[in-house]
Structure 1
């Protein structure tokens, strides 16, 4: 993706450790599981419970909380959910991550009960078959899984479009080359893709050059006692290129001091923001978790946009937070907090709970997903 996500060597998490992580990080009472699931409906109230909405936990198949947490966040991103539910799985279509995800989402959406638990066994089995990184019972990185899932779905959709074009050309008797065809954008790109522009200004002649780069999520550094706004400001800070790092200016035809900065040129429909909490420490020769307090707003406007950005004043509303609970990158537990129809809910594998806004401050977030708020 932008080379910002990290891959870690993982060690298995025991059942006892997983249970302890859950106990340490639960902020809300009234745990709802199995036959007691109707308690959530009572807590929300029958008159306020959303029509045609379902809140189902996912069974953990051996440290698959990283997967469950991301799937719950994506399920409550309505544009993504609607596209997955509308995906037509043909009877003879080869099984893929997308067909398995469609089956899982449809299974949740068509349940007669409002609250319960579903085993994503088919999806997990497909995931382990397709990528050996996930073919084990070790804890994995949720952000890395999100990147893999979105890119895999996009590749599958692009391949389907390519096959449809080829079939159409064969039927029409056309044998034109497709070498000049541009890569088709999929609904994954329509939902998550934005564009960054890397601007470099020569301090000698003032000439500005820019290079665009697409992204499906933004990864930002975190500091102690900071906020999302501060993290984003650091992401787009102006950097001076000097000494041995001077910039070769095409106008001056020589290396010159320059200033470089990153701006958002095209804002995505859904903004996925990854906080880089795992940092490699040279003195320790390993990665460690930065458990800093990061304040995040329920509404967000990106200020670090380029001058030619489309709809630069777009507002985003927080709809999901994927949380890593634990002291280090090699172990821990993932949960998800989502916003649905004005309610905040906690999904912890097969557990579903109501969450109160004043409890969110005790969560240290790994990833936040903002959904566009349409303002008239």
Structure 2
């Protein structure tokens, strides 16, 4: 380990970044999925800085209830405060907490790095939200009765409007907003529904690129046959009397709930239900829908769906497809008119031919240098070496090292606090 550290320091020489630390992470038996993601997050500089700030502001972490956030903050603090520039650290406390908290990660079986990343980010958000609510509760309890009366209604509503959900620094770094647009082909009405995301999971094809995968993600899909759309504006009900067999078409009343709460809508499918002794038919419309990025995140995480379930085989198969991911990415399929520019700074790589076994490593860009993290080992690599992890152009290849999770940093973006990332 010492030899590895000295080798890295020698390779960087005078170019070793001041104040930076490059430490490998000990593997406790198939914890490479965890180590690779943690390295990518550590070199996500705005996330690291805010996590370390959280650690400083909560110096009594040892006296508080242990959770994944406190363990992660402690680990990042250990790395950043090391006197040595390189070496190995054992993330024992974090891994133990992870296994204690989620039984999925307790076994020594091969785990999924993307599943771990998703779980970790959502867990950090839950912890921060609980801490914020607890702090507000303590503040309310410590206030005088007159203050409670004055502040009571505002706790729920502000100027008659419902308060916005809490936005944590995890949200500010990783959260983006998608808008699902559906256009009725009969009346041309467009219905939009927003949803948040921490990462984009993209379907992949052989000899493709991230740009083409993103275009496919935002491509227009026609809803017809059994997938027709219920349009609030022009869809109609048709009632057939059981007694006389007559059919009468009635318009949907805008902004009205289903009559008597008796109507049941299926997943984009026509349904027939009994309504006051009659049969009610729902007439749906053909429509077109597409997914667009409404608000790009500061840190864009792209998950390449390399593991696909094959029905004929009744199991998952790894897709070793060659998917080119650029060092600089322009995100053009957005609601915004201007393109969002991103720079690649980390790649989590899956090594292996199948989904149920293999290894994870990570590539990280730090201070214009590319580094290769393989658990305890850390090496400097050429930028050109990144393209060897695009995938294989042929179905059968000896190369089993494929980019799986990509981390892009938005260029020139300004946070709500005015900090340029």
Match of 1:372 in 2: 410
Match of 2:134 in 1: 163
For 1:215-230, list aligned pairs within 5 A: 215-230=197-212
Are 2:176 and 1:194 equivalent residues in the alignment? yes
For 1:1-376, list aligned pairs within 5 A: 33-45=1-13, 47-87=14-54, 88-89=57-58, 90=60, 91-172=62-143, 173=145, 174=148, 176=152, 181-254=163-236, 255-306=284-335, 309=336, 312-363=338-389, 364-374=402-412
Q: Does the Cα contact within 8 Å between 1:302 and 1:312 map onto a contact in 2?
A: no
Residues in 2 aligned to 1:36 and 1:262: alpha-carbon distance in whole angstroms: 46
Residues 209-249 of structure 1: CA deviation (Å, up to 9, x unaligned): 10000001100000011000011111111000111211111
Q: Does the Cα contact within 8 Å between 2:361 and 2:374 map onto a contact in 1?
A: yes
1:358 positional shift: 2.0
Q: Does the Cα contact within 8 Å between 1:227 and 1:295 map onto a contact in 2?
A: yes
SS of aligned partner of 1:51: coil
Residues in 2 aligned to 1:245 and 1:54: alpha-carbon distance in whole angstroms: 54
Q: Any gaps of 5 or more consecutive residues in structure 2?
A: 157-161, 237-283, 390-401, 414-419
Q: Does the Cα contact within 8 Å between 1:76 and 1:338 map onto a contact in 2?
A: yes
Q: Does the Cα contact within 8 Å between 1:338 and 1:345 map onto a contact in 2?
A: yes
Residues in 1 aligned to 2:63 and 2:386: alpha-carbon distance in whole angstroms: 45
SS of aligned partner of 1:248: coil
Between 1:357-366 and 1:193-202, the stretch displaced more is 357-366
Aligned length: 340
Between 1:260-269 and 1:240-249, the stretch displaced more is 240-249
RMSD: 1.6
Q: Any gaps of 5 or more consecutive residues in structure 1?
A: 1-32
Q: Spell out structure 1 runs of 4+ moving beyond 6 A.
A: none
* Structure whose CA Rg is larger: 2
Structure with the greater relative contact order (CA < 8 A, sep ≥ 6): 1 or 2?
1
SS of aligned partner of 1:305: coil
TM-score (norm 1): 0.88
Residues in 1 aligned to 2:137 and 2:115: alpha-carbon distance in whole angstroms: 33
